[in-house]
């Protein structure tokens, strides 16, 4: 079984940054890559803020913060992954983009290196086929925000071998996460259940059954959810929600997964959630107010 000590991460967005943080904090050497130096600087600043919050809560020492940050190396070239034992792809949820990245990654890897993808819905088997090592490839779906959420879905592709699965399962436990094993079906477990619920909440808004605030209040108080489905959609990103629903609709050929036209319209308008300032809520105001 491969011993994982050095971990590469492609993508310094919210997910990639979170994965980098938990891996570095757990003592692993981390190589974080993005196409933009500005994105890498933003990522390191965010990781530093997260560490500072942990220090304020007494969960981390200054020495531990310094050590963890010292284990993170950044770069804009895939060549930084040459010595990685595992590379985790955490790019945008777009299959063509991910396949292209994986093809470009392979020439930079040592022969025994493992590859994982953080996709939340796309076929692991298809993504593995874009590499030269389908047996050493699998899904490792972290939840957002990574430092807080305990679950990681582990998904084998049709060719994934047992040593790869065991090595990545061991890593998952070593970074303090809980593994749930899912089969390679569209959207796996969490999003197979969660995203249709969000899509149905958007239909409920679209059909005028209730307003944004009423729908979110109903689920928070009526089902004891910590966050309403439309607020959660904004947090995830409506573009990501739509992408997952499209994977479900196309992959399972069932009309119950048809993306709500209102969700499509919001994404087309660029109203894709909290990090962009507007979705089902307007985040330019404090507190955010419903847009419908």
Catalytic residue among 120, 121, 123, 199: 120
Catalytic residue among 121, 141, 199, 231: 141
Catalytic residue among 89, 153, 199, 231: 153
Let me know if 108 is a catalytic residue.
no
- Rounded (to 5) percent helix, strand, coil in the chain: 50, 15, 35
Buried b (16+ CB within 10 A) or exposed e, 145-179: ebbeeeebbbbbbebbeeebbebbbebbeebebeb
Catalytic residue among 123, 191, 199, 231: 191
The token pair that represents 105 in the structure block: 């990654």
Q: Is this prediction's pTM over 0.85?
A: yes
Element (H, E) at 10: strand 6-10
Q: What is the pLDDT of residue 3?
A: 87
Let me know if 224 is a catalytic residue.
no
**Rounded Cα–Cα distance for residues 286 and 168 (Å):** 42
Q: Strand pairing of 151-156 and 137-142?
A: antiparallel
Q: Strand pairing of 6-10 and 29-33?
A: parallel
Let me know if 118 is a catalytic residue.
no
The token pair that represents 44 in the structure block: 């390191």
Q: What is the pLDDT of residues 156-193, one digit of tens each?
A: 999 999 999 999 999 999 999 999 999 999 999 999 99
> Quick one: residue 179, left, alpha or beta (phi over 0 = left, psi -120 to 50 = alpha)?
beta
Nearest to 85 by CA among 23, 147, 129, 39: 23
**Rounded Cα–Cα distance for residues 136 and 4 (Å):** 13
Let me know if 141 is a catalytic residue.
yes
pLDDT (tens, 9 = 90+) of the chain, 292 residues, equals 678 999 999 999 999 999 999 999 999 999 999 999 999 999 999 999 999 999 999 999 999 999 999 999 999 999 999 999 999 999 988 999 999 999 999 999 999 999 999 999 999 999 999 999 999 999 999 999 999 999 999 999 999 999 999 999 999 999 999 999 999 999 999 999 999 999 999 999 999 999 999 999 999 999 999 999 999 999 999 999 999 999 999 999 999 999 999 999 999 999 999 989 999 999 999 999 999 8
Q: What is the pLDDT of residues 189-201, one digit of tens each?
A: 999 999 999 999 9
């Amino acid at each position: 079984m491969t011993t994982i000590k050095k971990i590469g991460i492609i993508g310094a967005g919210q997910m990639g940054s979170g994965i980098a943080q938990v891996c570095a904090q757990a003592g692993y050497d981390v190589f974080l890559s993005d196409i933009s130096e500005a994105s890498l600087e933003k990522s390191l600043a965010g990781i530093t803020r997260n560490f500072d919050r942990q220090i304020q809560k007494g969960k981390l020492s200054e020495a531990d913060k310094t050590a963890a940050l010292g284990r993170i190396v950044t770069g804009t070239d895939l060549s930084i992954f040459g010595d990685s034992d595992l590379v985790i792809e955490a790019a945008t949820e777009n299959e063509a983009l991910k396949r292209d990245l994986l093809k470009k990654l392979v020439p930079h890897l040592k022969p025994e290196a493992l590859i994982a993808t953080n996709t939340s819905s796309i076929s692991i088997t298809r993504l593995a086929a874009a590499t030269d090592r389908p047996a050493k490839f699998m899904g490792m779906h972290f939840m957002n925000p990574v430092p807080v959420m305990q679950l990681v879905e582990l998904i084998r592709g049709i060719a994934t071998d047992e040593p790869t699965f065991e090595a990545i399962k061991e890593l998952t436990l070593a970074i303090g996460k809980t593994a749930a094993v899912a089969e390679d079906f569209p959207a796996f477990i969490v999003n197979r259940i969660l995203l249709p619920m969000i899509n149905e909440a958007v239909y409920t808004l679209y059909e005028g059954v209730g307003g944004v605030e009423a729908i979110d209040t109903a689920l928070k108080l009526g089902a004891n959810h910590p966050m309403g489905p439309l607020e959660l959609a904004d947090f995830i990103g409506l573009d990501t929600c739509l992408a997952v629903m499209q994977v479900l609709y196309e992959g399972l050929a069932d009309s119950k997964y048809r993306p709500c036209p209102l969700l499509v319209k919001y994404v087309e308008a660029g109203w894709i959630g909290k990090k962009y300032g507007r979705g089902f809520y307007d985040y330019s105001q404090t507190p955010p107010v419903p847009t419908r």
